[in-house]
A and B are shown apart, each in its own frame.
Chain A
């Protein structure tokens, strides 16, 4: 069974479109994250949700909106896509209570904006 899954794996779309990426974890973790990895392989955190509450929001444009319907899901919605949004987006989860904070990553969603 896949611990952290993301859909879709690949996303090619036109500039100006709105798209969503879904993430689900079946590990029972209480915290989920979205990361962006750019073409230079820099990995930066975008959002973190703990028990459905946003606890980190780095300087991400408000075109990006995370949505957590429950603690097993953290979806990422992107409005008015721009060329610079092209990157690989990784979802991750961890259990922040009890000292086990190892992050488990999904396989990534490769977004290409044309």
Chain B
């Protein structure tokens, strides 16, 4: 069974800082890995999807990397803004789908 761990569980940073969210998973037999954000009381919004053959994906201020062999992915957020405050979830996808427990991010104005 896939186990997905996200560190840190919570993070609070001042506006403008660059930050890194970490995701580790135990089963490297995955097809892809997705990063989502979840706003309080809302559903999930897909941010980035990295195919298993890729090393990274970029979208705006977001950059996600994937090291499948070591079971790690990182989400880098550049120049953080208060609007980035949310919970960030990673989801490695193999034959089944598992989500990490999330990192709750607060960006302080």
Chain B, interface SS category:
strand
**In the bound complex, do residue A43 and residue B99 qualify as a contact, i.e. CB atoms below 8 Å apart?**
yes
Q: Closest CB of chain B to A57's CB: distance in Å?
A: 11
List which A89-108 residues lie within 8 A (CB) of chain B. 90, 92, 99, 101-108
- Which parts of A54-113 form the interface with B (CB within 8 Å)? 56, 58, 90, 92, 99, 101-108
Q: Which chain A residues numbered 39 to 61 have a C-beta less than 8 Å away from chain B?
A: 40-45, 48, 56, 58
A residues near B93, Cβ cutoff 8 Å: 101
The answer to whether B43 and A106 have CB atoms under 8 Å apart is yes
- The residue among B34, B98, B99, B101 with the most chain A CB atoms within 10 A of its own CB is B99
Q: Which 7 A-B pairs have the closest CB atoms?
A: A43-B99, A105-B44, A105-B43, A107-B43, A45-B97, A102-B49, A102-B46
Task: Report Cα–Cα, A4/B101, bound state, in Å.
Answer: 23
* B46 partner, pick from A42, A103, A107, A108, beta carbons under 8 A: A103
User: B32 in the interface, Cβ–Cβ < 8 Å?
Assistant: yes
Size of A's binding interface in residues, CB under 8 A: 21
Q: A43-B89, A90-B43, A101-B49 are in contact. Are A33 and B34 (CB under 8 A)?
A: no
Q: Which B residues fall within an 8 A CB radius of A? A: 31-32, 34, 36, 42-46, 49, 51, 87, 89, 91, 93, 96-99, 101-102
The 8 Å CB contact of A108, one of B32, B34, B36, B43, is B43
**Which residues of A are in contact with B by a Cβ distance under 8 Å?**
33, 40-45, 48, 56, 58, 90, 92, 99, 101-108
